[in-house]
Amino acid sequence: MKADKFSIVVCTFNRLDYLKKCVASLLEMDFPEYEIIIVNDGSTDGTKNFLDALNTGKIKIIHQERNQGLSAARNTGIKHSSHDIIAFTDDDCRVDKNWLAELSKGFADERTGFVMGQVFYVNKNYKGYFPERLVSNLNAQWPMGANIAYHKKVFVACGGFDHAFFKYNNEDSEMAIRAASQGFLFNRSLGATVYHQAMNWTAKSLLKSARNASVWPVLKKKYQKYYLTFGPPVKFGLVVCPRDYLHLLIAPLLIPLLFIRYLKHGKRDFKIFVAKWPVYLLLRRYYVYKEALRNKVVMF
């Protein structure tokens, strides 16, 4: 039996231009019954005025006076949901018109706790380059908050999103692994498609993401039997992002060639190039080592 009613939770903070496109795509979906819950997490950029001016019965608006973080905002959305299936996407994404219809197919088995869909950067045919590939999720491999739906019973049994994982930008990963550790089944729905809007990447935003991989020592310690459930970039349960070592080893030969390729593809922001080669790679190794030592876990 497919899910026939959805609550959709979108959390937003100071990204009005993205949010407008997200909301427009949500309202254009081809699905019989759904509600949209938008949690305005303390925005100061005109988001409140935009949301208050929306004139549709499909949208519930929740304004939080101060920014409480993505996990708290998602948990607020869950509390205000009316339906048993709760879908999540991000304010900087656009959903396909058949998004809910495809997600619903994944809940045919009543034992299913959550269903994951694909995320493309801009569109299906766009050939993204680093760091654009960081926000895509081809073949729905990963439980990304940009395209996932949970049965409400998961949150009843496991609790909500954990803010402690915000610094790794991996609250969504931890939530899904926690659900799997509690025996909930999951499905992948490749037809459930979300498109991440084009981003203005900066060296600062790129380097901030270097901390993401350091979540694995934490998850290994907390969920020893389940942290590999979704096939993370961890080799033999020990080496996190193993390609980093190869890239660093051949960097003296590789960097000149990569710079030529970088210029050829029109990527003119030299700061981003330097941020990856080699600062991003070294910083990611540092964060992984630090968390492994802190958690007393053998990982490198």
Q: Which long-range contacts (CB under 8 A, 24 or more apart) does 97-101 make?
A: 97/25, 97/28, 97/29, 97/30, 98/29, 98/30, 98/31, 98/191, 98/192, 98/193, 99/29, 99/31, 99/147, 99/192, 99/193, 99/194, 100/6, 100/8, 100/29, 100/31, 100/34, 100/192, 101/30, 101/31
Rounded average pLDDT over 133-141: 90
Rounded average pLDDT over 209-236: 97
Rounded average pLDDT over 99-108: 97
Nearest of 168, 206, 208, 177 to residue 291 by alpha carbon: 168
The enclosing H or E element of 115 equals: strand 112-121
Q: What is the pLDDT of residues 238-256, one digit of tens each?
A: 999 999 999 999 988 888 8
Residue 270: what pLDDT?
78
Residue 205: what pLDDT?
87
Q: Which region among 136-145, 188-197, 269-278 has the lowest average model confidence (pLDDT)?
A: 269-278
Q: What is the pLDDT of residues 226-240, one digit of tens each?
A: 999 999 999 999 999
Residue 272 has pLDDT above 70, yes or no: yes
Rounded average pLDDT over 62-70: 97
Residue 114 has pLDDT above 90, yes or no: yes
Rounded average pLDDT over 291-298: 98
Residue 1: what pLDDT?
55
Residue 263: what pLDDT?
73
Secondary structure of residue 51 in the 3-state scheme? helix
Residue 10: what pLDDT?
98
Give 266's pLDDT tier (boundaries 50, 70, 90).
low
Residue 171 has pLDDT above 80, yes or no: yes
Domain with CATH 3.90.550.10 in the chain: 6-199
Rounded average pLDDT over 24-37: 97
Secondary structure in 3-state letters for 55-92: CCCCEEEEEECCCCCHHHHHHHHHHCCCCCEEEECCCC
Residue 259: what pLDDT?
77
Rounded average pLDDT over 203-229: 95
Residue 268: what pLDDT?
63
Residue 85: what pLDDT?
98
Rounded average pLDDT over 180-204: 95
Query: Over the chain, what is the mean pLDDT?
Result: 94
In angstroms, the CA 186 to CA 192 distance is 14
Q: Are strands 239-240 and 185-196 parallel, antiparallel or unpaired?
A: unpaired
Q: Which region among 68-82, 106-120, 268-282 has the lowest average model confidence (pLDDT)?
A: 268-282
Pick the CATH number of 6-199 from 3.40.50.460, 3.90.550.10, 3.20.20.70, 3.10.20.600: 3.90.550.10
Give 271's pLDDT tier (boundaries 50, 70, 90).
confident
Residue 2: what pLDDT?
66
Secondary structure of residue 94 in the 3-state scheme? strand
| Residues contacting residue 41 through CB under 8 Å, at least 6 positions apart | 11, 12, 13, 64, 67, 68, 69, 70, 72, 73
158 alpha-carbon distance from chain centroid = 19
Nearest of 151, 95, 149 to residue 119 by alpha carbon: 95
Cβ-contact 32, 62 below 8 angstroms: no
Q: Please classify residue 11 by burial: count the beta carbons closer than 10 Å to its beta carbon, then call 0-12 exposed, 13-18 middle and 19+ buried.
A: buried
